[in-house]
Structure 1
Amino acid sequence: MNLLNRRALAYVASHPMDFTVQCLKGFRANQGLLLAGAVAYYSLLSIVPLLMLVVVALSHVINQEELLLTVGRYLNWLVPGQSKPIVAEVGHFLDHRDLVGGVLVISMLFFSSLAFTVLENAMSVIFKHRVAIRRRHFLISAIMPYCYILSLGAGMLLVTLVAGSLQVLGEESVWLFGYHWSLNGVSGVLLYLLGLAGEVLVLSSIYLVMPVGRLSIWHALIGGVTAALLWEIARRILVWYFSTLSQVNVVYGSMTTAIIVMFSLEIGATLLLFGAQVISEFERVGRERPQRAAQPLTTEATQIK
């Protein structure tokens, strides 16, 4: 495996543009935009029930206001500029959580797992060379979303505690060389780095768990860093666009929030799957230098045409 990694790194370092074009061609051949649309749609259905489950569970051990503040801060990374309506809905649900019954909990578990199921199927298309060799047992696929939800809850608990400590740090100040230095800027930088590191870890964990077969941590980190950096660029462009040029509120009216969230999730899902495509192509060039791009998936209608 180390030999394959060195071979792949040598090829990428010596042919960066060729590797990038190869990834783009492979992503197009696997109909990545179509897969990203499916992932984004089911993520839109899953995001609110998933947040409700996680927040209700963590509200027993963390102050509700602090928890919602942390959720809103890092949810803004996923849906830039649209975290407030979602957090408000989750907070309204928390105020009436005593009325939550077993049927509602089961339905939320079902809807919160939809995105993971669709994402697993999308990963199977991108890593089709792995699926052709080995398939995952259906019981593992059934319980994996719920195990991942528990992992996300534990990660949210850790992030909330660390973010609270950093906020307290930002209120402190030190005397150095006769000057009064506030730690507010340091706290902001550390909060940003915490969010970026959490983003890379979450993406890497998806690449580590979702594809069939055993994926190395090194390859998962390659995809996670690639997707995270691309999303950081896209997120800043989205924030600038929606705050300056966009007239989506004029066109869609009361549906503005849903449209913007859907659009953001579409871009995020595209970059997530592109990161998976980078890993897939990296594995391929480690084994042999590709001579041509992968053949695109075709449907029966396409063949007839």
Structure 2
Amino acid sequence: MKFLNRRGLVYVITHPMAFLVQCLKGFRANQGLLLAGAVAYYSLLSIVPLLMLVVVALSHVIDEAVLLETVGRYLGWLVPGHSGPIVEEVSHFLDHRDVVGGVLLISMIFFSSLAFTVLENAMSVIFKHRVEVKRRRFLISAIMPYCYILSLGAGMLLVTLVAGSLQVMGEESVSLFGYEWSLQGISGVLLYMVGFGGEVLVLTSIYLVMPVGRLSLSHALIGGVTAALLWECARHILVWYFTTLSQVNVVYGSMTTAIIVMFSLEIGATLLLFGAQVISEFERACRHKPRRTVRPLTTEATPMK
């Protein structure tokens, strides 16, 4: 199989604006913002239990301080500028993990899987042309979130080890021809590249696993790169806005952190689903089947004939 479909690439390159308009129309017809709101809400419920499970499991093989530092650094990619309170709650949980009982553990596992379940349902709406042909078995849908949690734990372990090695490298220097150059700048660039590469891989894996049926790796990579680039732009805008113009703390007071986290997750979920919409439209372009005019889902009653 070719890595990229030539017909789809030719269409996107020769008609970029038409392809973009199709993606936006399809996203609107599928009620993308409404789906993103549901994904963001359940992600807010899931993020703390998920981090607790991952950190508790990895704390047996990695130093807690190093692990929390790595989690805080890369959690800042998801919640720009406000990852501190979440990491603090996780660290408090680590201090009292001995009192965790079976009921609390089961509750944490359940809540940590909610976001994946809702995300799978949202993907079914965007890839409805796949659902019409083939449906996923209930057992696979039930165990998929927990398999994905295990995969995220393994990925966090790898990222922590790599980040620790790069930080150690940043403390070194190179001497050449009587001059000494510090490796701190190179270490920072490599840490950013590791974070961005991990972001692309996570998004690509979501697009590979969540939709029904077997999705091409190249198509999933297109969606992953698209969503990652859009989120990088949005993340820098959010950091600038919250540090210069935002007065959200005046309006919401003690609820500021929750509001900002929810707002960041809403934008992230929107871009995640829009990346899925890009893949869906690209599949249509590869099959040379233009999108039919789809009436957006509304609450209006259909007139009787």
TM-score of the pair, normalised by structure 2: 0.97
Return the offset for 1:204: 0.2
When residues 237 and 302 of structure 1 are mapped into structure 2, their CA distance, relative to the original with a 3 A threshold, is: farther
Return the offset for 1:288: 1.5
Unpaired runs of at least 5, structure 1: none
Aligned residue number for residue 40 of structure 1: 40
Return the offset for 1:297: 2.7
TM-score of the pair, normalised by structure 1: 0.97
Give me the whole-angstrom Cα distance separating, in 2, the residues matched to 1:40 and 1:303: 30
Return the offset for 1:5: 1.1
Give me the whole-angstrom Cα distance separating, in 2, the residues matched to 1:303 and 1:247: 43
Return the offset for 1:125: 0.1
When residues 85 and 253 of structure 1 are mapped into structure 2, their CA distance, relative to the original with a 3 A threshold, is: same
Aligned residue number for residue 240 of structure 2: 240
Q: CA RMSD, aligned part only?
A: 1.4
Return the offset for 1:290: 1.0
Aligned residue number for residue 95 of structure 2: 95
Aligned residue number for residue 155 of structure 1: 155
* 1:43-63 superposed Cα distances (whole Å, 9 cap, x missing partner): 000000000000000000000
* 1:143-188 superposed Cα distances (whole Å, 9 cap, x missing partner): 0000000000000000000000000000000012321100000000
Aligned residue number for residue 283 of structure 2: 283
Unpaired runs of at least 5, structure 2: none
Matched, 1:189 2:184: no
Trace 1:16-31 onto structure 2 (pairs within 5 A).
Answer: 16-31=16-31
- Shifted more, 171-180 versus 240-249: the winner is 171-180
Identity %: 83
Aligned residue number for residue 303 of structure 1: 302
Aligned residue number for residue 225 of structure 2: 225
Contact kept, 8 Å, 1:4 with 1:286, in 2: the verdict is no
Q: Post-superposition, which runs of at least 4 consecutive aligned residues in structure 1 deviate over 2 A?
A: 1-4, 291-299, 301-305
Contact kept, 8 Å, 1:230 with 1:271, in 2: the verdict is yes
Return the offset for 1:293: 4.2
Contact kept, 8 Å, 1:82 with 1:261, in 2: the verdict is yes
Contact kept, 8 Å, 2:72 with 2:83, in 1: the verdict is yes
* 1:209-253 superposed Cα distances (whole Å, 9 cap, x missing partner): 000000011001000000000000000000000000000000000
Contact kept, 8 Å, 2:284 with 2:291, in 1: the verdict is no
Return the offset for 1:296: 2.2
Give me the whole-angstrom Cα distance separating, in 1, the residues matched to 2:271 and 2:183: 35
Aligned residue number for residue 164 of structure 2: 164
Trace 1:110-189 onto structure 2 (pairs within 5 A).
Answer: 110-189=110-189
Contact kept, 8 Å, 2:7 with 2:285, in 1: the verdict is yes
* 1:6-47 superposed Cα distances (whole Å, 9 cap, x missing partner): 100000010011101110000000000000000000000000
Matched length: 304
Give me the whole-angstrom Cα distance separating, in 1, the residues matched to 2:221 and 2:104: 37
Give me the whole-angstrom Cα distance separating, in 2, the residues matched to 1:10 and 1:18: 13
When residues 244 and 213 of structure 1 are mapped into structure 2, their CA distance, relative to the original with a 3 A threshold, is: same
Give me the whole-angstrom Cα distance separating, in 2, the residues matched to 1:4 and 1:78: 29
Q: Helix, strand or coil: the match of 2:174?
A: strand
